[in-house]
């Protein structure tokens, strides 16, 4: 029997890779993990965590205004200190990264601060040290990276990777893209006081999401002075005395201080040696895997965004944990049901989604029932805000099973997590209706919804 240096070698120290390495080590496997940048990956360093901190920061001005209706007298106008926020944010990210690495080491995982390239089915080579490490199983968990469209001057723009390290808050910002990253950053900078323009290539925001919610979000964004320009693409960017001059596909020209490209992400597979070792990849560069994360080479697996299935941190974590349990814990873990993964968009107001879209449900369920409601929450109404809450529930009229739930409003991301539990348990609409409402809450409107 061949003896390898390790039972498992993980390439990529993001959330999914770290979870797989740690759980495998806890099962008694000999594990190493290679990461050439920061442990915690995109989510901790350049994604979910710093973005959510920015979302929190951007919402305070509206909360300050609302507080007056509740009897709070304001003194001097609040002032946002970008540099102070960045220092505090960086300290928190450093703390979280150290926890990731410390947890790995306490589990007995060898951490390799180096870029790993696959040499063959059981061997990787570390680029900086030249060391080769053999393993019974190799797991690729290298995530994704921002896509940058090609046009003259694109080097003058930044992506979500760089936005968290801007030396100062730009007064005039162009957001390019109509997806969830784009609407989140548009809301962030608008809330912080920047003048925000957003170029959306298509006719509406959030392709693939419920379009009633997307349309309502667009209305709220415009009320917050985000200038949405549909059918617009960047043709070129030029450096000028006053900042950056952007030429659009329709002939418009505008001057801004920063252009943030939120034009999608792509699997981070370059430099891994996949082609030379015969690992199959799709046209978009993603690694092709089966339901259990196995590639066409039996000893090589892949999880997370590098497979381009459902590109969310909790999905990568679940995939990594399940893989370690199967391979090293002797456990029979079923494949993940990607159709019931709860999703949040931290726009303002935020969105929570779980299950099927209305379009997909209509195509499969002829007796579909669509239940909706739209209203102002008590707190917003009292403060004079025009912000709306929107709830849509999709029910199969034949079986009464709830197929999907789409929410927009303050705090709905917290609500949809528990809705995901109900849908995973195959709850019927009768189960929801039999649940006593908790008053006064936004969530009670779900179980009292009629239609």
Ramachandran category for residue 153: left, alpha or beta (phi over 0 → left; psi -120 to 50 → alpha): left
Question: Structure tokens of 208?
Answer: 């693939």
Closest by CA to 319, choosing from 291, 350, 351, is: 291
Q: Is position 52 annotated in a ligand binding site?
A: yes
Nearest to 156 by CA among 262, 65, 261: 261
* Distance in angstroms (rounded) separating the CA atoms of residues 384 and 386: 7
Q: 230: Cβ–Cβ under 8 A, 6 or more apart, which residues?
A: 200, 202, 203, 204
Four-CA torsion 34, 37, 38, 41, nearest 10 degrees: -80
Q: Is 100 annotated as a binding residue?
A: no
Q: Is 178 annotated as a binding residue?
A: yes
181 known member of a binding site = yes
Per DSSP, the three-state class of 175 is: strand
Residues ≥6 apart with Cβ < 8 Å to 224:
187, 190, 191, 348
Residue 264 marked in a binding site? yes
* 188 marked as part of a ligand binding site: no
**β-strands 195-200, 226-230 pairing:** parallel
- DSSP-assigned letter for residue 186: H
Among 88, 165, 220, 439, which one carries the catalytic annotation? 439
Peptide bond into 440 cis (omega under 30): yes
Q: How far is CA 356 from CA 115, 377, 395, 401, in A?
A: 39, 26, 10, 12
Distance CA 159, CA 262 (A): 6
The whole-angstrom separation of Cα 145 and Cα 429 is: 40
179 is in an annotated binding site: yes
- Is 204 in the active site? no
Q: What residue numbers does the annotated binding site for FAD cover?
A: 52
Enzyme catalytic residues: 439
Q: What residue numbers does the annotated binding site for NAD(+) cover?
A: 177-184, 264, 305
């Amino acid at each position: 029997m061949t003896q390898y240096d390790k039972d498992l070698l993980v390439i990529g120290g993001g959330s999914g890779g770290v979870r797989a390495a740690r759980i495998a080590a806890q099962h008694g496997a000999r594990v190493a993990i290679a990461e050439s940048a920061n442990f915690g990956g995109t989510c901790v360093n350049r994604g979910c965590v710093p973005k959510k901190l920015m979302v929190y920061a951007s919402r305070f001005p509206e909360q300050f205004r609302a507080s007056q209706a509740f009897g709070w007298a304001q003194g001097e106008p609040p002032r946002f200190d970008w540099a102070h926020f960045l220092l505090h944010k960086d300290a928190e990210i450093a703390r979280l990264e150290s926890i990731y690495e410390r947890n790995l080491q306490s589990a007995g995982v060898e951490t390799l601060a180096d870029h790993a390239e696959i040499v063959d089915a059981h061997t990787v080579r570390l680029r900086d040290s030249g060391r080769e490490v053999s393993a019974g199983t190799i797991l690729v968990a290298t995530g994704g990276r921002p896509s940058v469209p090609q046009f003259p001057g694109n080097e003058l723009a930044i992506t979500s990777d760089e936005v968290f390290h801007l030396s100062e808050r730009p007064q005039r910002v162009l957001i390019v893209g109509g997806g969830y990253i784009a609407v989140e950053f548009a809301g962030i900078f608008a809330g912080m006081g920047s003048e925000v323009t957003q170029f959306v290539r298509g006719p509406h925001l959030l392709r693939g999401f419920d379009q009633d919610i997307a349309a309502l979000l667009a209305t709220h964004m415009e009320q917050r002075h985000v200038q949405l320009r549909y059918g617009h693409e960047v043709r070129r960017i030029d450096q000028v005395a006053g900042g950056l001059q952007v030429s659009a596909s329709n002939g418009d020209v505008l001057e801004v201080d920063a252009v943030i490209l939120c034009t999608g992400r792509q699997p981070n597979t370059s430099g891994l040696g996949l082609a030379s070792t015969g690992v199959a990849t799709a046209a978009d560069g993603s690694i092709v895997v089966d339901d259990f994360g196995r590639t066409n080479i039996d000893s090589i697996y892949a999880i997370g965004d590098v497979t381009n299935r459902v590109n969310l941190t909790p999905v990568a974590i679940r995939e990594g944990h399940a893989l370690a349990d199967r391979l090293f814990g002797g456990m029979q873990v079923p494949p993940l049901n990607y159709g019931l993964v709860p999703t949040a968009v931290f726009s303002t107001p935020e969105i929570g989604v779980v299950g099927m879209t209305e379009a997909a449900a209509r195509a499969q369920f002829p007796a579909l029932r669509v239940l909706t409601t739209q209203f102002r929450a008590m707190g917003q109404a009292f403060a004079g805000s025009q912000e709306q809450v929107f709830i849509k529930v999709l029910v199969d009229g034949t079986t009464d099973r709830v197929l999907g739930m789409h929410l927009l409003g303050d705090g709905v991301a917290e609500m949809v997590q528990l809705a995901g539990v109900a849908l995973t348990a195959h709850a019927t609409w009768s189960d929801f209706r039999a649940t006593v409402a908790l008053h006064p809450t936004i969530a009670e409107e779900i179980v009292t919804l009629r239609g």
